[in-house]
Structure 1
Amino acid sequence: MNDALIRYFPRVEYAPCWQAMRDLTDQRTADTLDELWVLEHPPVFTLGQAGKPEHVLNAGDIPVVKTDRGGQVTYHGPGQTVIYLMLDIKRLGLGSRGMVTAIEESIVSFLADLGVKATSRDDAPGVYVDGAKIASLGLRIRRGATYHGLAINRTMDLAPWQRINPCGHAGQPMTTLEALGIQLSRETMEQQLVTVLAKRLGVTPRTAQAPDWYNNGNSTPTG
């Protein structure tokens, strides 16, 4: 199994995090370890490469960032765990479709362990519980490696989702672990999901410290 560095962040601004993902992807070699970054963002809407601005209905005071992942528009904010996956998919023996399937199956398995029946959909990437979306995903593959990743709703305020058509689907209902009656601390939930993801992806998780780019003033107070 390949080792993967797991870095946990309290909260981090979107823009420097996105730049750091691209830098790691541009600089990696065949020997570079894979990394998973587990974090929260302050409120932000992100518009994927295929994103249509009209799917942002009323951004209000929440910034909109045009990014380079696949997919349409999504929302990140407090109470949502984001896991960015910087993976050498050739080394892992996964193609782009296999990568999406592995992520979706990991989330479905994680939720099943909590007693929640969830499914994926062929027409709309992500994970759903009784038609409501609990997890979103969007990836970019460059130089044989992925970046961006998944977002799962823990305890977040769902009101901002009403300002967009989530992933381009008007009226798509959203849900959270909390709304489903799941009471887990953020730390426990993230560690459990990372364990399932790592096993499904075929990597051995190794917890690592936050990197320099995060420590140089790009964090956001969580209080």
Structure 2
Amino acid sequence: MCATPVSSPPILSDPVTPGSASPATQAVPSPEAPAVAPASVPVVVRWRGSEAYQASFDAMREFTAARTADTPDELWLVEHPPVFTLGQAGKPEHLLVANSGIPLVQIDRGGQITYHGPGQVVAYLLLDLRRRRLMVRELVTLIEQAVIETLAAYNLAGERKAGAPGIYVSRGAGETPAAHAGAKVAALGLKIRNGCSYHGVSLNVAMDLKPFLAINPCGYAGLETVDMATLGVAAGWRDVAATLAARLIANLDANLEAARAATLAQPHQPQASAASAA
């Protein structure tokens, strides 16, 4: 997933489409959020295994439409059979090979085209952002940091790229760039509906990378896409998925605790009495 679904509001792994809000300025309305963030919000982790993209997509929308203020947040870990997905305003010309044999699914996110396939960890975050006191931009940063920390656990360096959400192989500080420096190793995209998120992040572990050559990944012509195996990591899908899930949950918990601490640290503002307000 290289971009976020459109409508209310899109977070893209490629340039923001005309008429959509900038990711840096988006906020989740919180009229129903508690005055103080809850002490904890558990996350239910579901290992869904190999699942057709359409099945996951339908299930995410159904879950989000049916959830209430009491519905627990969930994190789904999935591996998809080969599929290209195209955002709602995506340009079909970014599919460079018309008869690749890989199905193309048009979905309700913004942005362009991306590829999912075996050997890629996909983590879908179904979160109540109001309950977690999370702004959309904060969630994107939190997800990116979790990927960077996951890569670090396998001695890989990842970095952000301004204006292009996702994680890229670090170019390093030396004069000689690292192998595959600047290549994209993880893509993210979120759909926000009624203050709740779905979609999430995909991390390339050990894939057949050739299908990425059949597209302009996330709408960027010539963008190299790489996986952890190419970078020298011999780790299994489940091991990397567990590491990523742990880092996502740890960062969600840390953000919630920071929000709670900030709220409690604010000075109490007593309401004016009727006499003084007259």
Structure-2-length-normalised TM-score: 0.71
The Cα offsets for residues 167-219 of structure 1, whole Å up to 9 and x where unpaired, read as 0000100111111111112221111110001011128xxxxxxxxxxxxxxxx
Equivalent pair of 1:41/1:76 in contact (CA under 8 Å): yes
State the secondary structure of the residue aligned to 2:50. coil
5 Å-filtered alignment, 1:67-86, equals 67-86=107-126
* Structure 2 CA distance for aligned equivalents of residues 68 and 120 of structure 1: 25
Equivalent pair of 1:70/1:139 in contact (CA under 8 Å): no
Equivalent pair of 2:79/2:122 in contact (CA under 8 Å): yes
Aligned to 1:128: 168
5 Å-filtered alignment, 1:208-219, equals none
Q: Highest Rg: 1 or 2?
A: 2
State the secondary structure of the residue aligned to 2:247. helix
Equivalent pair of 2:190/2:197 in contact (CA under 8 Å): yes
Q: Does 1:50 align with 2:89?
A: yes
The Cα offsets for residues 107-143 of structure 1, whole Å up to 9 and x where unpaired, read as 0111122211110112211100020000011110001
Aligned to 1:64: 104
Aligned to 2:271: none
Q: Does 1:31 align with 2:70?
A: yes
Match of 1:138 among 177, 189, 212: 189
Shift of 1:68: 1.0
* Structure 1 CA distance for aligned equivalents of residues 47 and 190 of structure 2: 20
The Cα offsets for residues 17-40 of structure 1, whole Å up to 9 and x where unpaired, read as 111100110010000000111011
Shift of 1:70: 3.0
* Structure 2 CA distance for aligned equivalents of residues 16 and 123 of structure 1: 31
Shift of 1:50: 3.2
Number of matched pairs: 203
- Name the aligned partner's letter for residue 54 of structure 2: A
Aligned to 2:173: none
More strand by share: 1
Q: Does 1:88 align with 2:139?
A: no
Equivalent pair of 1:72/1:167 in contact (CA under 8 Å): yes
Structure-1-length-normalised TM-score: 0.88
State the secondary structure of the residue aligned to 1:192. helix
* Structure 1 CA distance for aligned equivalents of residues 55 and 230 of structure 2: 31
State the secondary structure of the residue aligned to 1:104. helix
Q: Which runs of 4+ in 1 moved over 3 A?
A: none
Percentage of pairs with the same residue: 48
Moved more, 63-72 or 11-20: 63-72
Aligned to 2:177: none
Aligned to 1:191: 242
Equivalent pair of 1:104/1:126 in contact (CA under 8 Å): yes
Match of 1:180 among 224, 231, 239: 231
Query: Unaligned 5+ residue runs, structure 1?
Result: 204-223
Provide the aligned C-alpha RMSD in A: 1.2
Match of 2:209 among 135, 141, 158: 158
Aligned to 1:97: 137
